[in-house]
Amino acid sequence: MLRRKRPSQRGQLTYRQINRLLPFTGAPLFHALQLLATGDSARFHMPGHKGEPLFHTFAEVFAIDFTETYGTGNLYLGDGPIRDAEVAAALYFGAADCFFLTGGSTQGIMAMLAAAVGRGGSVLLDRECHKSVCHACALLDITPYFVSAPLLEPFAVSGELPAQAVEQQLVAHPDIRAVLVTSPTYYGVRRALPALADLCRAFGKLLLVDAAHGAHFPAVGLPAPIAEGADMAVLSMHKTLPCLGQGAVLLSGKGVDRRALRENTALFGTSSPSYPVMASIDLARAYTEGPGRDAYRRSAEACAALREYIGRRTGFTALDETHFPALDPCRLTVCTAGTDATGHRLADMLWSEYGVACEMADDRNAVFILTGADTGASLHRLRRGLRRISARRHETLPPSAAAPFPPAERVMRVRDAWFANTGRVEPAAAEGLVCARPVTPYPPGVPLLWPGEKITRAHIELIRERWYNEIGEITVVIS
């Protein structure tokens, strides 16, 4: 944490002096706020705490919690040190432009769809998309078409999106304005963005990428989505970089109307964007561009070593390049199929017996996010926990093949279903009814069924088999 220095006279600390206090340099917004915070001033503006450390531990955060005032910049006007920080981030991520978001990738996904597809338009979606995409479709009355990726065994997570299926949908629905894909997925699978970008270009469509889980890619030598041909992309800085919660960026490529994009971020954002969150986006970028790069490279190496160790010393299976060639090098997906544990059970045992908290679990996987902040001790703890738990699982079962979630028939527009009269029913009673809210195990927050889709017996059976504990009720349309 930064040491806060209160000068005895007005405005003593120069930019250069502040820089010397910082462990690393090159974060213009953070520097500007620190300069203001350490100056001698009386704040008669929001927020009400006036930068005073009411809660002692959070002193530094409160000190730089400003509003739009002298020297802080205005996010939605795109000026001041916020703009400098955005330009630095755009350069780092190889994008034509960058917009800071304080409402997570959720805000960016909505802004991106509003700008690229607009009210009442159509979009082709990776079925593995986050529920915020569904929310945007409800708000903007967008018609979604879907393409699904086949499942990877034994993980039952989606692999490559078949380009042929994307092309078929683009031919069948010429009203589609943009294609939105998730890359990397929660489980660390990367889509073939350059090929998808070529396809989109050939059909005159925009390629939008939800890279919420991929903000660390440049730090591990992988391109960010715009450099791979995407027109717009969102990255949750808070998910994989040392950034405060809700910090995210929206990136755009050449030819995108930046003013329209900014306006659309405002449509879904608070009018009081958090300065500590924005400053931490700035800091996270400066850190990974500078000293953090080595930490992330080490984290990728540690992840590769863990995958190898899991294959050699445990009965679990780590998702690695032998299963799928393009993976996030810092995401560890551990599959329990073939043992008598579920992913949830493995996660619970790791937490209760070893104090290891995973990011998420499903019925056959536990997922771990590795970052530059991991220590040798924490990695050792994870390795030991996995080995010891595995040693106790005597029973080995033949891994059952995972059935893909059956496609669903759309019988109402997403928006109409969302805003219809609704009621809640148990899954068993939902057959033949129309879904009114996304049916979403969380995490990963990927809807199994969308509003406006008809619920069949096959859906209910699969929900019962794989997500029964997580999905107690389904919200349906009642006429």
Ligand X SMILES: Cc1ncc(COP(=O)(O)O)c(C=O)c1O
**SS3 track for the chain:** CCCCCCCCCCCCCCHHHHHHHCCCCCCHHHHHHHHHHHCCCCCCCCCCCCCCCCCHHHHHHHHCCCCCCCCCCCCCCCCHHHHHHHHHHHHHCCCCEEEEECCHHHHHHHHHHHHHCCCCCEEEEECCCCHHHHHHHHHHCCEEEEECCCEECCCCEECCCCHHHHHHHHHHCCCEEEEEEECCCCCCECCCHHHHHHHHHHHCCEEEEECCCCCCHHHHCCCCHHHHCCCEEEEEHHHHCCCCCCCEEEEECCCCCHHHHHHHHHHCCCCCCCHHHHHHHHHHHHHHHCCHHHHHHHHHHHHHHHHHHHHHHCCCEECCCCCCCCECCCEEEEECECECCCHHHHHHHHHHHHCCCCCEECCCEEEEECCCCCCHHHHHHHHHHHHHHHHHCCCECCCCCCCCCCCCCECCCHHHHHCCCEEEECHHHCCCCEECCCECCCCCCCCCECCCEECCHHHHHHHHHHHCCCCCCEEEECC
* Residue of closest CB approach to ligand X: 104
> How far is the C-alpha of 129 from the C-alpha of 410, rounded, in Å?
17
* Candidate residues 68, 86, 210, 282; the one interacting with ligand X per rule CB under 6 A: 210
Q: Which stretch binds ligand X (CB under 6 A): 150-158, 207-215, 370-378, 468-476?
A: 207-215
Among residues 34, 143, 158, 236, which is the contact residue for ligand X, using CB under 6 A?
A: 236
Would you count residue 235 as binding ligand X (CB under 6 A)?
no
Is 183 a binding residue for ligand X by CB under 6 A? The answer is no
Residue 191 or 383: which CB sits closer to ligand X?
191
CB of 129 to ligand X, least distance (A): 7
- Minimum CB distance to ligand X smaller for 235 or for 460: 235
Q: Using the rule CB under 6 A, which residue among 186, 187, 316, 368 binds ligand X?
A: 186
Cβ distance to ligand X smaller for residue 213 or 383: 213
440 binds ligand X per the rule CB under 6 A = no
182 binds ligand X (CB under 6 A): yes
Query: Which window, 64-72, 85-93, 104-112, 301-309, contacts ligand X (CB under 6 A)?
Result: 104-112
- Tell me: does residue 105 bind ligand X (CB under 6 A): yes
User: Which one, 187 or 418, has the nearer CB to ligand X?
Assistant: 187
Write the binding mask 353 to 392 for ligand X: x where contact by CB under 6 A, - elsewhere.
Answer: ----------------------------------------
- Residue (208 or 379) nearer to ligand X, CB: 208
Stretch that binds ligand X, among 163-171, 205-213, 308-316, 365-373 (CB under 6 A): 205-213
Window of 9-17, 103-111, 410-418, 457-465 that interacts with ligand X by CB under 6 A: 103-111
Tell me if 83 contacts ligand X by CB under 6 A. no
Rule CB under 6 A: say whether 130 interacts with ligand X: yes
Q: Is residue 248 a contact residue for ligand X (CB under 6 A)?
A: yes
The answer to the question of residue 225 lying near ligand X (CB under 6 A) is no
Quick check: 102 binds ligand X (CB under 6 A)? Answer: no
Size of the site for ligand X (CB under 6 A): 14
User: Which residues in this chain contact ligand X in the complex, by CB under 6 A?
Assistant: 104-106, 130, 132, 182, 186, 210, 212-213, 236, 248, 444-445
